[in-house]
Amino acid sequence: VFEDGGQLPGEGLHLVGGEREPGQLGHVGDVVELDLPMAPRLVEAHPRIDPTRGSVAIERGPLVYCLESPDQTPGVDVEDVQICTAPGPSARWEGGRLGGVVVVEAQGCTTDSTGWGCALYRPLGSVAPPPGSPTRLMAIPYYAWANRGLSAMRVWIPRHSG
């Protein structure tokens, strides 16, 4: 059902080249455009969702993005990164990556977990955490991961507190 002026219900939807009366259905051959904001953004989950608390995910339009190990600086493990929330992420086209995709980049830092050894727990404050090293994080659309052999991947990225 079209709203006044050919506008479809829902933000970003409109009828191209025509108007309809309120309540009138479209016709065969009508063209409907969907205009989605495609700027990359960081999203957070409800704080009661334990596994994602303190983390953010990257979205661009309707797509969810992920970090995959082949796209990171050599030696950077996606399990040992944090993302800086400012400045925000940026997007750019990469024609030679995965057959051509828009990648999203953000500033982040690595964390050093080597001091933990095989321990799963230790008293809080018993060891001072080493400072993180700045790194550039590159994210790809979630649909495109696992196409380059065995690799690590993550969607929810811990926020850098510094």
List, for residues 98-120, the tens digit of each pLDDT value.
999 999 999 999 998 888 889 99
ω before 134 within 30° of 0 (cis)?
no
pLDDT single digits (tens) 61-105: 999 999 999 999 999 999 999 999 999 999 999 999 999 999 999
pLDDT single digits (tens) 5-27: 444 455 666 666 666 665 566 67
How far is it, in rounded angstroms, from Cα 56 to Cα 160?
Answer: 10
How far is it, in rounded angstroms, from Cα 162 to Cα 157?
Answer: 15
Contact 72, 103 (CB under 8 A): no
pTM for this predicted structure: 0.80
* Counts for the chain of helices (H) and strands (E), in that order: 0, 11
Q: What is the pLDDT of residue 14?
A: 63
State mean pLDDT over 136-148.
96
How far is it, in rounded angstroms, from Cα 2 to Cα 21?
Answer: 7
pLDDT-above-70 percentage for the chain:
83
